[in-house]
Structure 1
Amino acid sequence: MPRSAAARTARLASLPLSIAGRTALGLGKRLGGKSAEAVAADLQRRTADQLFRVLGELKGGAMKFGQALSVFEAALPEHLAAPYRATLTKLQDSAPPMPAEQVHRVLERELGTNWRRRLRGFCDEPAAAASIGQVHRARWPDGREVAVKVQYPGAADALRADLNQLARVSRLFASLLPGLEVKPLIEELKARIGEELDYRLEAEAQAGFAAAFDGDPEIAVPRVRLYTRHVLVTDWLEGRPLSEIIAHGTQEERDRAGLLFVRFLFAGPARAGLLHADPHPGNFRMTPDGRLGVLDFGLVARLPGGLPPQIGRLLRIGLDGDFDTVVEGLRAEGFIKPGVEIDPQELHDYLRPFTEPAQAETFHFTRDWMRTQFQRITDIRDQSARTALRLNLPPSYLLIHRVWSGGIGVLSQLGTNAPFRAELERWLPGFADELDSDLPEDEPA
């Protein structure tokens, strides 16, 4: 990798010292007459700027963490989000490149000395870079343009070193996103290192999605052509990055992108038995023919039976206002541990970010709405935050929760006005069943 593990660790380790220095400087400014609020805002802004600049210059776990965090950008206060939004979204599809000679060595080791016969016109300049590998353009023997993803040498060590260091400085993020539990997110990333490093698993998942959505008029998944543990070759997917639509798209483009984004996330488990579990904008494109193109299948949840029907049933029951039943249902699923008591009305208030979008035929996701919901459920002075502390997240729901909450974050960045409820009725098991069960017996469902 372009930077040694020691250099990356030094960059991350420097963050607490830099922030401590700014804190001391801030104290001096307060003594000099500036208000505490002005000093705090300035400190927060400078901390955010350095933090995301460092993450943006790194690969490995630092960039992987930054990408995971980027879906919550819409929850940040606007006075913080605006100055470094471009820096944060840059994490979604860019990083310093790996030298060409190093790329060639990996390809020769993985594909043999004649690798250029299969990857014709291979372009040494990377077209994109991610946390553990970078993508190059080439042509398949039949002339089709392909994307060649090459894993960085030493990616495993870099991931572990960066994530361990991030865990040690995780308290720094509290000043940016108060109430966000960063350590569980880092632990989840660490637990899944093995899956993401093996491109054979990614190829298997991508092939499953590609087969399920083959010929689909709305979703495009590139076909897998060749793979080894450290190299993955797929059809090239042309398109406009979702991050660009977030920044510059028209409302019509935002609505279309958001609708297809929701449709893909919910349709995946039903059609492919797989859930794409890395929903940050860098993994999605709008193709020239108006489809949603999907990339990077390194993190998926394998759900051969589709999404658990309990989610849809409890959501529907909650929309009907019966939160006593919802409490008992969540207890049965392990979200509420034995002996823990939760008031049904307080649970109703806490679950508002998940239930509100399903109440009306259409729902307008906005940064202001996302920010309000996030602040409400993370402010310990609010009852919703105290309710959150009494809830438990079962391991089997970990990735589902990540996709649901991250997906809401992306929709809020897009500002999508989407018929969210119709997608739930179409794709979420249990939700439409409960809807049908409300009808009189003599009325057809």
Structure 2
Amino acid sequence: MAKDKIPTSRIARTAKVSSLAAGQAARHLGTRATNIARSDEGRSAALEKRHVEAAEQIVTALGTMKGAAMKLGQVMSFLDVGLVPEEHREEFQRKLGALRDAAPNVSFAGMRKVIEQELGGNLKDHFREFDSDAIAAASIGQVYRAQLHDGRDVAVKVQYPGVAAAVRADMQNLGIILRLMKRIAPGLDVKNTAEEIRSRIYDELDYELEAQNQRSLARIFKGHPFIVVPAVVGELSAERVLVTEFVEGDGFDSVKEADQATRDRIGEIVFRFYFGCMYRHRQFSGDPHPGNFLQMRDGRVAFLDFGLFKVMPKHLIELELETQRAGHEGDAERLWEIWAEGGLLKHPDKFRPDKLLSQFLDATWWYLTDEELELTPEIATQVMIDMADPRSTHFGQMRHETLPADHIFGRRVETLTLAVLGQLSARANWHRIAREWIYGDPPVTELGRQEAAFYG
């Protein structure tokens, strides 16, 4: 097989994933059998070894796949779900970070062919200069720097040749991949996770749709004091090519090494962007992760990649804000009424209001608690476990419910935003910021005052 060809047939890709899953199953059974004769300390060491081995194998498998499986790898690269013991976590994060950032082994000749097929004519017809070395890699494409004939510097995102077929194969293999992940992350809801991924992943293959999404947010944030959404060059954007204004800045690894004040400021901006888009504007990127923003030299933060995008119905956002008010105020009966009347519960009579409130706060306490908090990876881990782990105290009453897809999507964005903030160890009273859209309160931070002036 040519080195730059992505394996697209289901047989080839299923064989790769199935062999990994089979190997893990054998190791799992072997560990359980051996543990019978081991001490508690020995059992712990064996489990730790199995988790490390499984994590490394998942990294290897995801690294060979440039479709939905790679998207899972991106999520895992910053959302620590307790996959590996703490002492091995840094190395695991490093390997996954390299997976997220590494340019795939696809030749420029193949990528150039995609550009010329989509835009027509020769590359030089559209660009004065075009750097053939990719500056970034996404889950389904690569990004290049170029200059238009009018002198504008642009970023050109090009879809990998053959990736659409690869994604379709990944969709068929998704259950295998998620069951493999569930071996070391028991809290993973395989069914809901698979449905959520399938419902959105095909949108990411259409860069014309992404251009439309990005234009919508670029209009909203034009002239914003600290948020930048790069403008789209519409005449050079097609189904597999997206051309946008080029922005330059420091990536996530540099931001993580900054001082506490800088990380706190970036954290508040990230929080305001993802939560503010959802609750103020009802349209937002569904893919908060570290590769999707840059700190620019003037202190503003540029947000990138709007392939996974959602427009929420107004009534659902109002319902969400009502539930947040009830959650913050500890009003279990009101929360139960909102969810029952709003159709979020199929069998409301089976729910105790106090337990429903406890489960809701499992996911939202960090921004509904009125105190300053320093967020950490462990907090993100615990929130995810509490939300989905069948061993958690509140899982029992929710396990037979099927929450609306929009609600699940919103919770996902919140949790992934929390994961980014945890990686930054960002500090703030997140509730006081969120009160701006939950209660309509005036801002209490300098960034909030700048934003209020912008919206005013």
Same fold per TM (> 0.5)?
yes
Gaps of 5+ in 2: 442-456
Query: Which residue type is aligned with residue 316 of structure 1?
Result: R
Choose the corresponding residue for 1:397, options 399, 407, 413. Answer: 407
For each residue in 1:336-379, what CA deviation from the matched residue of structure 2 results, as whole angstroms up to 9, or x when unmatched? 11354222222222222303422215332122333334444444
Query: Which residue type is aligned with residue 250 of structure 2?
Result: R
Distance 1:427 1:29 in 2: 54
Distance 2:282 2:366 in 1: 27
Percent identity for Structure 1 against Structure 2: 35
Deviation of 1:103 (Å)? 1.3
Q: Is residue 2:394 matched to residue 1:384? A: yes
For each residue in 1:106-154, what CA deviation from the matched residue of structure 2 results, as whole angstroms up to 9, or x when unmatched? 1111112233232222111111111111111111222221111111122
Distance 2:402 2:262 in 1: 37
2:452 alignment partner in structure 1: none
Q: Which moved more, 1:58-67 or 1:370-379?
A: 370-379
Distance 1:194 1:372 in 2: 30
Note closer, same or farther for the CA distance 1:223–1:378 as it changes in structure 2 (3 Å cut).
closer
1:173 alignment partner in structure 2: 181
Distance 1:344 1:250 in 2: 43
Query: Which residue type is aligned with residue 89 of structure 1?
Result: G
Matched-pair contact (CA < 8 Å) for 2:227–2:269: yes
Choose the corresponding residue for 1:22, options 2, 14, 27. Answer: 27
Matched-pair contact (CA < 8 Å) for 1:377–1:388: no
Q: Is residue 2:72 matched to residue 1:65? A: yes
Query: Match of 2:130, SS?
Result: coil
Deviation of 1:91 (Å)? 4.0
Deviation of 1:221 (Å)? 0.9
Query: Match of 2:17, SS?
Result: helix
Matched-pair contact (CA < 8 Å) for 2:59–2:95: yes
Q: Is residue 2:264 matched to residue 1:259? A: no
Choose the corresponding residue for 1:362, options 357, 372, 384. Answer: 372
Question: What is the count of residue pairs matched by the alignment?
Answer: 430
Deviation of 1:411 (Å)? 1.6
Query: Which residue type is aligned with residue 344 of structure 1?
Result: P
Q: Is residue 2:120 matched to residue 1:120? A: no
Note closer, same or farther for the CA distance 1:62–1:223 as it changes in structure 2 (3 Å cut).
same
Q: Which moved more, 1:177-186 or 1:21-30?
A: 21-30
Deviation of 1:292 (Å)? 1.6
Note closer, same or farther for the CA distance 1:427–1:174 as it changes in structure 2 (3 Å cut).
same
Deviation of 1:323 (Å)? 0.7
* Aligned-residue CA RMSD (Å): 2.5
Query: Match of 2:394, SS?
Result: helix
Choose the corresponding residue for 1:342, options 325, 334, 351. Answer: 351
Note closer, same or farther for the CA distance 1:313–1:96 as it changes in structure 2 (3 Å cut).
same
Note closer, same or farther for the CA distance 1:243–1:13 as it changes in structure 2 (3 Å cut).
farther
Distance 1:28 1:355 in 2: 40
Matched-pair contact (CA < 8 Å) for 1:270–1:306: no
Q: Which moved more, 1:369-378 or 1:110-119?
A: 369-378
TM-score (structure 1 length as normaliser)? 0.88
Q: Which moved more, 1:128-137 or 1:383-392?
A: 383-392
Deviation of 1:197 (Å)? 1.1
2:205 alignment partner in structure 1: 197
Matched-pair contact (CA < 8 Å) for 1:94–1:130: no
Q: Within 5 Å, give how 1:15-414 maps onto structure 2.
A: 15-23=20-28, 26=31, 30=35, 35-73=42-80, 75-76=82-83, 77-79=85-87, 81-225=89-233, 226-246=236-256, 248-269=257-278, 273-303=282-312, 305=314, 308-352=317-361, 353-414=363-424
TM-score (structure 2 length as normaliser)? 0.86
Q: Which moved more, 1:140-149 or 1:369-378?
A: 369-378
Query: Which residue type is aligned with residue 73 of structure 1?
Result: D
Deviation of 1:36 (Å)? 2.1
Query: Match of 1:351, SS?
Result: helix
Distance 1:67 1:183 in 2: 20
Q: Which moved more, 1:231-240 or 1:311-320?
A: 311-320
For each residue in 1:418-439, what CA deviation from the matched residue of structure 2 results, as whole angstroms up to 9, or x when unmatched? 23223322234xx338xxxxxx
Query: Match of 2:188, SS?
Result: coil
Query: Match of 2:440, SS?
Result: helix
Distance 2:96 2:343 in 1: 35
Query: Match of 1:121, SS?
Result: strand
Q: Which moved more, 1:181-190 or 1:230-239?
A: 181-190
Distance 2:351 2:116 in 1: 59
Query: Which residue type is aligned with residue 68 of structure 1?
Result: V
Deviation of 1:278 (Å)? 0.8
For each residue in 1:257-302, what CA deviation from the matched residue of structure 2 results, as whole angstroms up to 9, or x when unmatched? 1100011113324665421111121111111111121111111112
Distance 2:50 2:325 in 1: 44
Matched-pair contact (CA < 8 Å) for 1:139–1:145: yes
Note closer, same or farther for the CA distance 1:366–1:150 as it changes in structure 2 (3 Å cut).
same
Matched-pair contact (CA < 8 Å) for 2:196–2:409: no
Query: Match of 2:197, SS?
Result: helix
Distance 1:376 1:212 in 2: 35
Deviation of 1:25 (Å)? 5.7
Query: Match of 1:265, SS?
Result: helix
Query: Match of 2:409, SS?
Result: helix
Gaps of 5+ in 1: 434-445
Matched-pair contact (CA < 8 Å) for 2:155–2:244: yes
Query: Match of 2:436, SS?
Result: helix
For each residue in 1:147-171, what CA deviation from the matched residue of structure 2 results, as whole angstroms up to 9, or x when unmatched? 1111112222100112321312422
